[in-house]
C-alpha cells in the first residue's frame, strides 16, 4: 500500500464510522465535513509531507525503538555484567528515566541519547499488568530476551552509519585504491542486511506480544542459515587492521578525509575503527546474551532445551569466525616469511599452504657434531622455523632476512633430552658459557637428515635450546 493510500484509509476509516452512526443526516454532515476537508488536504499534500506524516505515524505506533537510538558503542548490555558487579535485582530495578546530564566545565558532551529502556518499563507491559502476574525469575528472563532485541537495534544503527558515512563516501574512495577499500570494509554492507533481517524477526515477535515466550528459534535459525557473512568479515580482520594502520601513517589525504567524516554528529565523536570492530564484538557477545537467557530459564521447561540449541548454534558460529581469522592470519604470516627466506643453493621449498602454520621460531646453538661435544667459543648459531609439518633451519642475516641451510619434515627429526653419557650435561649445556645470548640447554634437536642438500652419509648434528 502506497503512502497516499495509507493516509486515505486512515481518514476514510473514521469517516465511515461516523457516517454509520445513528445521528441525523445534518448531524452527520456537520461531523464529517471537517474530515472530508482534511482528506482533501491530505491528498493534495506534497510527497515530502506525506512521507513525514507516515514516519511520524510509524514512530507513534512503535515507541519502543527510538528513531535516534544509542550507538552500539555506547550500549550497555546488562546481561554481560558479572553478578559480582551487579545483582539481578539491580538489573531489574524500576527507575525513572534520568534527566539529561549537566556537563561539567571542560567536558564536552558530543552525543546524548535517552537512557536505555528495559522491558519492565514498557508502557504496554505496565498497562497490561503483566508484572503482577509473573514471577521475579520470569521477569529476569523477559529482560534478558528484550535486551537482545534492543541491542540488535542499536548495533544495526551503528552499522548503518559505518556503511552510509564511511564505506559509501566518495571523498574517502578517492584517497585509496580498490584493494585497500575492500580490505577496510570487506562485506560490511552484507553484515548490515543480515542484522536488519535478524532484527525484523525479533521485532515482529515482540509486536505480536510484549510477553515473549521465546526467541531461541529465531536465534538458532539465523545462526545456522544467515550469519555466515560474519565468518568472512572476521577472517578479513588481519588485513583490515593492517591496512588502516598503514593508510593512517602514510596517506595524508585519507587521514584528513577520515577525520572530517568522524567529526560528523552522527559518529558521536568516535573513530572509524570503533565502527569497524562492531561485527566482531556483536558475534562474540551473542553467545553470552543467550547464555544469560538460559540461566534465567527453568531447565525443565521446553524453552530451556530450545535455548540450549540456539546457544550451541551461535557458539559454533563464533568458533568458525575465530578459525577463519586464525587461518587468514596464518596465511598472511606465510606470505611474509616466504619473502624473508633465501634458499640460495638449497632447492626452494613451497612454504605457503592452507594446512601449514608456524608453531615456533627462534635461535639455537650447534652443541654437538660428529658425536663429540665441541668446546670453546665461536659456536655457530642457527635460526629455526618450526611449522606443524616441517622444520626449516636457517642462518639469520638480518631482522627480516634468513638464509636457508636445510629443511626437514616432521618424520625426519626428533626432540629429546641428552647428556654426556654419565647422566650429566656438558658444561656448555648446563651453564651456557656464551652468555645470555646462548640458547644452549637440556633440550636438543638431533637432526639425522641426510638429503642431497647436506650430502649423503654426512654425520648428524645436534642443536640445543633452553626451552621448548
- Claim: this prediction has a pTM higher than 0.75: no
Domain range enclosing 375: 358-465
Among 61, 87, 107, the domain-final residue is 61
Would 346 be classed as within a structural domain? no
Question: Is the pLDDT confidence value at 57 over 80?
Answer: no
Domain count of the chain?
A: 3
Q: Are residues 122 and 50 in the same domain?
A: no
Predicted pLDDT of residue 151: 92
Alpha carbon distance 191, 387 (integer Å): 35
Q: Are residues 214 and 280 in the same domain?
A: yes
Q: Are residues 325 and 367 in the same domain?
A: no
Among 335, 366, 382, the domain-final residue is 335
pLDDT tens digits, 187-235: 999 999 999 999 999 999 999 998 999 999 999 999 999 999 999 999 9
Predicted pLDDT of residue 191: 97
Higher pLDDT: 349 or 106? It is 349
Q: Are residues 329 and 364 in the same domain?
A: no
Domain of residue 399, CATH code: 2.30.29
Would 241 be classed as within a structural domain? yes
Domain of residue 276, CATH code: 1.20.900.10
Predicted pLDDT of residue 249: 96
Q: Are residues 305 and 364 in the same domain?
A: no
Q: Are residues 325 and 209 in the same domain?
A: yes
Would 416 be classed as within a structural domain? yes
Q: Are residues 136 and 267 in the same domain?
A: yes
pLDDT tens digits, 405-424: 888 888 777 666 655 554 44
Q: Are residues 171 and 312 in the same domain?
A: yes
Predicted pLDDT of residue 430: 36
Q: Are residues 131 and 231 in the same domain?
A: yes
Would 401 be classed as within a structural domain? yes
Q: Are residues 326 and 363 in the same domain?
A: no
User: Which of 2-6, 26-30, 76-80, 243-247 has the highest average model confidence (pLDDT)?
Assistant: 243-247
Would 250 be classed as within a structural domain? yes
**Average pLDDT of the chain?**
74
Would 169 be classed as within a structural domain? yes
pLDDT tens digits, 242-286: 999 999 999 999 999 999 999 999 999 999 999 999 999 999 999
Predicted pLDDT of residue 121: 85
Q: Are residues 298 and 395 in the same domain?
A: no
Q: Are residues 306 and 379 in the same domain?
A: no
Average pLDDT over residues 119-139: 88
Average pLDDT over residues 391-395: 89
Nearest-10 crossing angle of helices 216-225, 278-295: 140
Would 54 be classed as within a structural domain? yes
Would 388 be classed as within a structural domain? yes
Amino acid at each position: 500500500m502506497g503512502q497516499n493510500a495509507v493516509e486515505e484509509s486512515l481518514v476514510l476509516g473514521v469517516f465511515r464510522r461516523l457516517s454509520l452512526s445513528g445521528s441525523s443526516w445534518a448531524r452527520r454532515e456537520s461531523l464529517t465535513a471537517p474530515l472530508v476537508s482534511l482528506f482533501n488536504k491530505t491528498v493534495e499534500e506534497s510527497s515530502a509531507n506525506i512521507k513525514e506524516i507516515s514516519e511520524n505515524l510509524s514512530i507513534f505506533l512503535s515507541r519502543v525503538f527510538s528513531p535516534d537510538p544509542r550507538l552500539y558503542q555506547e550500549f550497555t548490555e546488562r546481561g554481560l555484567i558479572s553478578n559480582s558487579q551487579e545483582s539481578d535485582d539491580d538489573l531489574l530495578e524500576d527507575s525513572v528515566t534520568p534527566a539529561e546530564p549537566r556537563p561539567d566545565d571542560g567536558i564536552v558532551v558530543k552525543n546524548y541519547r535517552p537512557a536505555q529502556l528495559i522491558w519492565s518499563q514498557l508502557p504496554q507491559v505496565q498497562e497490561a499488568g503483566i508484572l503482577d502476574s509473573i514471577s521475579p525469575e520470569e521477569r529476569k528472563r523477559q529482560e534478558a530476551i528484550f535486551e537482545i532485541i534492543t541491542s540488535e537495534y542499536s548495533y544495526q544503527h551503528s552499522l548503518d552509519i559505518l556503511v552510509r558515512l564511511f564505506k559509501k563516501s566518495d571523498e574517502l574512495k578517492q584517497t585509496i585504491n580498490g584493494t585497500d577499500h575492500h580490505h577496510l570494509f570487506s562485506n560490511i554492507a552484507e553484515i548490515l542486511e543480515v542484522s536488519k533481517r535478524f532484527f525484523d524477526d525479533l521485532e515482529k515477535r515482540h509486536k505480536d506480544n510484549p510477553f515473549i515466550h521465546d526467541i531461541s528459534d529465531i536465534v538458532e535459525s539465523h545462526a545456522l542459515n544467515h550469519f555466515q557473512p560474519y565468518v568472512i568479515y572476521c577472517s578479513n580482520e588481519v588485513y583490515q587492521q593492517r591496512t588502516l594502520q598503514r593508510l593512517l601513517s602514510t596517506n595524508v589525504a585519507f587521514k584528513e578525509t577520515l577525520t572530517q567524516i568522524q567529526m560528523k554528529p552522527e559518529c558521536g565523536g568516535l573513530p572509524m575503527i570503533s565502527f569497524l570492530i562492531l561485527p566482531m564484538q556483536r558475534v562474540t557477545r551473542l553467545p553470552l546474551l543467550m547464555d544469560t537467557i538460559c540461566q534465567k530459564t527453568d531447565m525443565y521447561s521446553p524453552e530451556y532445551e530450545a535455548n540450549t540449541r540456539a546457544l550451541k548454534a551461535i557458539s559454533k558460529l563464533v568458533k568458525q569466525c575465530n578459525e577463519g581469522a586464525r587461518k587468514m592470519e596464518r596465511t598472511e604470516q606465510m606470505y611474509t616469511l616466504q619473502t624473508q627466506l633465501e634458499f640460495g643453493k638449497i632447492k626452494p621449498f613451497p612454504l605457503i599452504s592452507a594446512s601449514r602454520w608456524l608453531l615456533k621460531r627462534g635461535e639455537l646453538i650447534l652443541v654437538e657434531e660428529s658425536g663429540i661435544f665441541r668446546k670453546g667459543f665461536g659456536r655457530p648459531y642457527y635460526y629455526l622455523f618450526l611449522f606443524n609439518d616441517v622444520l626449516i633451519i636457517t642462518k639469520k642475516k638480518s631482522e627480516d632476512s634468513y638464509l636457508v641451510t636445510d629443511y626437514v619434515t616432521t618424520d625426519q627429526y626428533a626432540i629429546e633430552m641428552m647428556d654426556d653419557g654419565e647422566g650429566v650435561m656438558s658444561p656448555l649445556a648446563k651453564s651456557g658459557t656464551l652468555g645470555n645470548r646462548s640458547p644452549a640447554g637440556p633440550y636438543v634437536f638431533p637432526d639425522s637428515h641426510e638429503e642431497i642438500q647436506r650430502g649423503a652419509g654426512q654425520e648428524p648434528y645436534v642443536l640445543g635450546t633452553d626451552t621448548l
